[in-house]
Chains A and B, each alone.
Chain A
């Protein structure tokens, strides 16, 4: 994100068109794929978000900084996003800073409710220019004077080709423009408007609103299938080109030679990349062993064999199916996968249902087998065409409710900004039995969201009243079999982790309830948690 943020920053101060061109060309020649493609798309307006509302941004900042100090700062600076970027306090031990493709990818898949947490985490990890660029990107406020025409000129300069050559292929290219850059850098031929194996922009689903959508839509209009917990991919074999793309168009073929070898068809499929264990989907943690690598050796591929569970068929031979309704594409897909007879590429089965109630029940109690570890359900209108982006109505995702466990507060750390006087970051643990059969608490995660200001005051008092030891900003809190505080923790998923003593790491943990009433000995045990791994 650093280089992109720096570019935006400079473009914003540079009035001259020629100087803008120089800055753009310099950035495009140094930034990696697919980052530069997404950068180009967001600069030219081909990609835009309105993921964060000003009100939310202000509230998030006021949770970190005294509101009066924030107001004085805002008065002085004028611009809200800039103020927040400037005053957002550094968070010690924050995650590494997010890269642009990661931000784009997360925003395209996150529901509205997930965006605030994502945003706060990113703000914690970025520097001031990065925070400013991120907030401008999220509020759709990227006005730095780059027209599509200027972008094309920069590309022409980058590849030393006439602008007209760029224009000829431009309309057939989609962010993040991998083929375009490959051509401009003389790594491949000029892309044809119909270049075989090119990335086709992906169709995404809206998160369903349980309160309103079910009343509005007919169950008979929709097909349901499981949303598998891998990564969404597009696999192509066209005109001798074999490609494997992530949802954002990143070519990830190098890390998955086993999958590439299995693309023995002629067409383009949309599916979920998974690790297969005798025809069954393995948990996401297994797939992680293979992600973000430059290659894969035989041993790794044997331990974690990858494959695709197909959702959709976009091209069959030379025929583009995307304008056909889902029902027809689905029939073609079923026949296509059956003909293929591959143990690496199988079909994501449809889940029959008659009513929304029945489907809700299936979601809460999935049938035995792979659906038990699915992320949730997908709903697709039978008559929906394959439409890039995230149209409202044709496709919905309906994720499973978060997991809940009862954990025990073990450590507390002082917060930042408005919370700087409070112990607001909580490390919690669950019971674990040691070799002698003695029960002890083992930390399993950390949460700093999910409670009201009133609750925070009570939690803070509890921490101060029951401190056992202090280490700098951290206090250990009394927690034994007879005394302690139980926190109900909600989280999205669980992965194996060698970095955590407990061997597990949670995704998006937050406090869902404070169980002042619950005896500590009744908190959950590690094996309960470990069951969620499988």
Chain B
């Protein structure tokens, strides 16, 4: 990843206290934290609200960001499709689809959804109002993902970042190497089933694509919870290759095969049907041994749809926002980093987001 080659923010830094507090006041007018989540007063809408609201902008389809029961929802067409698949067609009173880069006006506020590189349809919400640009990143990553377009850096005055993996210990290896580990284990243990825990939206499809790119052409077996998202990804043109349900209930089923299941299922009774299964788990948390051991994972695969420490700090360095709001994860280390690097940063407590990448 080369952050330096990308455009930098046009912002002229000022350290004058007065100017800063004026700016802060300006940001608070455009965006503020409420019990429902981030709220934009001049546009009168929430972003990824954690409770039902009148108008919501949704960054992506993960259930803690995209909830049921809002009055009106603005999101990318892919995210709307994901919400409909999850909650049924009547998940909101009204919906409006905005493709990547398409400008939508809400009162005096311009809203543009820009790729976040997290999962299919994931977007950053870019708000422009009275010459101020605020970017709410939602969840994002900076690495290549064969299932969605890459994160697009947008110069801004205020950047709101997630911090799921906001510690220097999280520096993820190349996902292709992790998948190679899985395939090597499959050849080493041809009589055992490899049971890969992966989040049903995004992670599972990315793992499948990575396996296909690594030349694995055999049928992949799926837990029933994977079906609707797999079908949705395929309908959006993402080739997943031959898939079959892992419902073969015979004892010692599927030796030598790869089964993909929700993380909760791999240590569950459900897993006992397989042939001496090797529990694997694809998650950024697998970077830390104790986390893998807690879950009885024998083959940790460090594959994450979130930005790691280098991606987070690299993004901040690249964008050089006047103000950085950190939410949704471990913000303490990022605050320290920001102080060391002379970037003004605040932690926002937004209740209701889950420990994703699980």
- Contact mask A62-82 → B, CB, 8 Å, 1/0? 000110111011001111001
Cβ 8 A contact of B168, one of A13, A14, A65, A79? A65
Contact B169 A66 (CB under 8 A): no
Chain A residues positioned under 8 Å from B278 (CB to CB):
19
> A87 an interface residue at 8 Å Cβ cutoff?
yes
Contact B169 A87 (CB under 8 A): yes
Cβ 8 A contact of B298, one of A13, A86, A87? A13
Contact A77 B288 (CB under 8 A): yes
Q: Measured between C-beta atoms, what is the minimum distance from B281 to chain A in Å?
A: 11
Chain B residues positioned under 8 Å from A65 (CB to CB):
168
- Contact mask B168-191 → A, CB, 8 Å, 1/0? 111101000000000000001100
Contact A13 B300 (CB under 8 A): yes
Contact A82 B189 (CB under 8 A): no
> B5 an interface residue at 8 Å Cβ cutoff?
no
> B267 an interface residue at 8 Å Cβ cutoff?
no
Contact B333 A13 (CB under 8 A): no
Q: Chain A interface secondary structure, helix, strand, loop or mixed?
A: helix
Chain B residues positioned under 8 Å from A22 (CB to CB):
188-189
Q: Measured between C-beta atoms, what is the minimum distance from B268 to chain A in Å?
A: 18
A76 to B331, CA, bound (A): 13
Known: A14-B298, A69-B337. A87 touches B290 (CB 8 A): no
Chain A residues positioned under 8 Å from B298 (CB to CB):
13-15, 19
> A387 an interface residue at 8 Å Cβ cutoff?
no
Question: How many residues of chain B have a CB within 8 Å of chain A?
Answer: 25
> B97 an interface residue at 8 Å Cβ cutoff?
no
Chain A residues positioned under 8 Å from B287 (CB to CB):
86
Contact A77 B290 (CB under 8 A): yes
| Residues 231 to 270 of chain B near chain A (Cβ within 8 Å) | none
> B167 an interface residue at 8 Å Cβ cutoff?
yes
Contact A66 B171 (CB under 8 A): no
> A340 an interface residue at 8 Å Cβ cutoff?
no
Contact B333 A78 (CB under 8 A): no
Residue on A nearest B302 in the bound complex, by CB: A128
> B297 an interface residue at 8 Å Cβ cutoff?
yes
Max chain B Cβ within 10 angstroms of own Cβ: one of A13, A72, A78, A86: A13
| Residues 279 to 299 of chain B near chain A (Cβ within 8 Å) | 287-290, 292-293, 297-299
Contact B290 A79 (CB under 8 A): yes
> A83 an interface residue at 8 Å Cβ cutoff?
yes
> B340 an interface residue at 8 Å Cβ cutoff?
yes
Contact A66 B290 (CB under 8 A): no
> A23 an interface residue at 8 Å Cβ cutoff?
yes
Cβ 8 A contact of A73, one of B169, B289, B290, B300? B169
Chain A residues positioned under 8 Å from B169 (CB to CB):
73, 76-77, 83, 86-87
Contact B292 A66 (CB under 8 A): no
Chain B residues positioned under 8 Å from A86 (CB to CB):
168-171, 287-288
Chain B residues positioned under 8 Å from A23 (CB to CB):
188
Contact A73 B333 (CB under 8 A): yes
> B336 an interface residue at 8 Å Cβ cutoff?
yes
> B332 an interface residue at 8 Å Cβ cutoff?
yes
Q: Measured between C-beta atoms, what is the minimum distance from A440 to chain B in Å?
A: 33
> A26 an interface residue at 8 Å Cβ cutoff?
yes
Chain B residues positioned under 8 Å from A82 (CB to CB):
288-289
Q: Measured between C-beta atoms, what is the minimum distance from A517 to chain B in Å?
A: 34
A128 to B293, CA, bound (A): 18
Known: A69-B337, A79-B290, A86-B287. A26 touches B167 (CB 8 A): no
Contact B290 A13 (CB under 8 A): no
A421 to B167, CA, bound (A): 19
Contact A128 B290 (CB under 8 A): no
Question: How many residues of chain A have a CB within 8 Å of chain B?
Answer: 26
Chain B residues positioned under 8 Å from A78 (CB to CB):
290
Chain B residues positioned under 8 Å from A127 (CB to CB):
173
Contact A66 B167 (CB under 8 A): no
Cβ 8 A contact of B333, one of A12, A26, A72, A77? A72
Chain B residues positioned under 8 Å from A70 (CB to CB):
168
| Residues 15 to 61 of chain A near chain B (Cβ within 8 Å) | 15, 19, 22-23, 26
Chain A residues positioned under 8 Å from B336 (CB to CB):
66, 68-69, 72
Cβ 8 A contact of B289, one of A66, A68, A79? A79
Q: Measured between C-beta atoms, what is the minimum distance from A332 to chain B in Å?
A: 52
A127 to B168, CA, bound (A): 15
Cβ 8 A contact of A76, one of B189, B288, B337? B288
Chain B residues positioned under 8 Å from A26 (CB to CB):
188
Q: Measured between C-beta atoms, what is the minimum distance from B17 to chain A in Å?
A: 23
Q: Measured between C-beta atoms, what is the minimum distance from B286 to chain A in Å?
A: 10
Contact B189 A19 (CB under 8 A): yes
Chain B residues positioned under 8 Å from A87 (CB to CB):
168-169
Chain A residues positioned under 8 Å from B333 (CB to CB):
69, 72-73
Max chain A Cβ within 10 angstroms of own Cβ: one of B173, B288, B293: B288
Chain A residues positioned under 8 Å from B290 (CB to CB):
77-79
A65 to B309, CA, bound (A): 13
A87 to B298, CA, bound (A): 23
Chain B residues positioned under 8 Å from A76 (CB to CB):
167, 169, 288, 330
Contact A128 B173 (CB under 8 A): yes
Chain A residues positioned under 8 Å from B340 (CB to CB):
66, 421
Chain B residues positioned under 8 Å from A73 (CB to CB):
167-169, 333
A87 to B330, CA, bound (A): 16
A70 to B332, CA, bound (A): 12
A65 to B168, CA, bound (A): 9
Chain A residues positioned under 8 Å from B171 (CB to CB):
86, 128
A270 to B59, CA, bound (A): 71
- Contact mask B319-335 → A, CB, 8 Å, 1/0? 00000000000101100
Chain B residues positioned under 8 Å from A83 (CB to CB):
169
Cβ 8 A contact of A13, one of B188, B288, B292, B330? B292
Chain A residues positioned under 8 Å from B293 (CB to CB):
13
Chain A residues positioned under 8 Å from B292 (CB to CB):
13
- Contact mask A400-429 → B, CB, 8 Å, 1/0? 000000000000000000000100000000
Max chain B Cβ within 10 angstroms of own Cβ: one of A14, A70, A73, A76: A76
Chain A residues positioned under 8 Å from B189 (CB to CB):
19, 22
A392 to B99, CA, bound (A): 74
- What are 6 A-B contacts defined by CB distance under 8 Å? A15-B298, A26-B188, A69-B336, A78-B290, A83-B169, A128-B171
Q: Which 10 A-B pairs have the closest CB atoms?
A: A86-B169, A87-B168, A72-B333, A73-B169, A13-B298, A68-B336, A69-B168, A73-B168, A69-B333, A73-B167
- Hey, which bits of chain A sit against chain B, CB under 8 A? 12-15, 19, 22-23, 26, 65-66, 68-70, 72-73, 76-79, 82-83, 86-87, 127-128, 421
* Contacts A70-B168, A72-B336, A76-B167 known; 5 new A-B pairs at CB < 8 A: A66-B336, A66-B337, A69-B336, A73-B169, A76-B169
